Amino acid sequence: MLFQKEKKRRLTVRGTLSLLVLATIIRQFFLHNYEGIFVGVLTLILFGVPTFIERKTDIDLPPVLEGIIYCFIFAAEILGELNSFYTKIPYWDSMLHTINGFLMAAIGFALVDIFNRSDRFSVKLSPLFLAIVAFCFSMTVGVLWEFFEFAMDTYIGTDMQKDWIVTAINSVKFDPNGLNVVHHVDINSLVVNGEDWIAKYGGYIDIGLIDTMKDLLVNFIGAVIFSIIGFFYVKSRGKGKFASQFIPKVLNKKNER
């Protein structure tokens, strides 16, 4: 009975967001924004991934985790990309990367914990090791995503690694003797293609580096937070109600009846 209620909640969240995505696709069609239509269709496909994983692997995603995944996809693709929340709302991108670090740590933690609790494996890992693996898994996913962003910007011409305005540069390149001595240079005047960038933008453009490091930093914060939560969850052997809302479990077929 409880399982059926949880399934209805999941379908409600997914159905509501899917309707909003469909409305977005229709709007993009009338705006002749075919790239936006592609993003909308991709979002609907991503909405089907959690269900696909559950059916193919017999792993149950907790309702809270699944709902957050749907909201995360919607916030990243529809709100972030198509509605320009990445540029309109400060720290929108940082918020999503922090959540991503948290969720990936939860998923990484679950993948190892499922094997750790299985009778087929004789080696049992300590709570600390599980937390470290979850953290490393989350950071690896974050790094791979930054590789993807860099590849898209380099070869497709997108701007996934958002540019930042810098007003000063610290570099050894400015040393006249070619020594490893850092020189600080304030950017007080800058003209690009006849346009005064100081007056218009306030500085020079850093192409992606600051954004990448900022994304990895907040991913790190999210990963650390869940790794600590997961550590105490295993120490108490599943008594933590908060952590259990984010850790996938092996599906018990009897619960479906």
Residue 2 pLDDT: 46
For the chain, the first-to-last Cα distance in angstroms comes to: 8
Give the mean model confidence (pLDDT) for residues 61-90. Answer: 92
Residue 60 pLDDT: 82
Helices (H) and strands (E) counted in the chain, each on its own, are: 10, 8
Is the confidence at residue 55, as pLDDT, over 60?
Answer: yes
Is the confidence at residue 196, as pLDDT, over 60?
Answer: yes
- CB distance 58 to 250 below 8 Å: yes
And the tokens for 201? 């933008």
The amino acid at 137: F
Is the confidence at residue 30, as pLDDT, over 60?
Answer: yes
User: H or E stretch including 62?
Assistant: none
Task: Give the confidence band of 257 by pLDDT, cuts at 50, 70, 90.
Answer: very low
Task: Give the confidence band of 203 by pLDDT, cuts at 50, 70, 90.
Answer: very high
Give the mean model confidence (pLDDT) for residues 88-103. Answer: 94
Q: What angle (nearest 5°) sits at the alpha carbon of residue 234, between those of residues 233 and 236?
A: 70
Is the confidence at residue 83, as pLDDT, over 60?
Answer: yes
Residue 236 pLDDT: 82
Residue 59 pLDDT: 81
Task: Give the confidence band of 256 by pLDDT, cuts at 50, 70, 90.
Answer: very low
Any idea where the domains of the chain sit in the sequence? 1-89, 104-161+207-247, 164-206
- CB distance 175 to 184 below 8 Å: no
127-151: buried (b, 16+ CB within 10 Å) or exposed (e) per residue?
A: beebbebbbebbbebbeebbeebee
Longest distance between any two alpha carbons in the chain, whole Å: 77
Which tens digits make up the pLDDT trace of 102-114? 999 999 998 888 7
Backbone angles phi, psi at 166, to 5 degrees: -115, 145
Is the confidence at residue 237, as pLDDT, over 60?
Answer: yes
Mean pLDDT of the chain: 88
Is the confidence at residue 98, as pLDDT, over 90?
Answer: yes
And the tokens for 86? 């990445």
Residue 120 pLDDT: 64
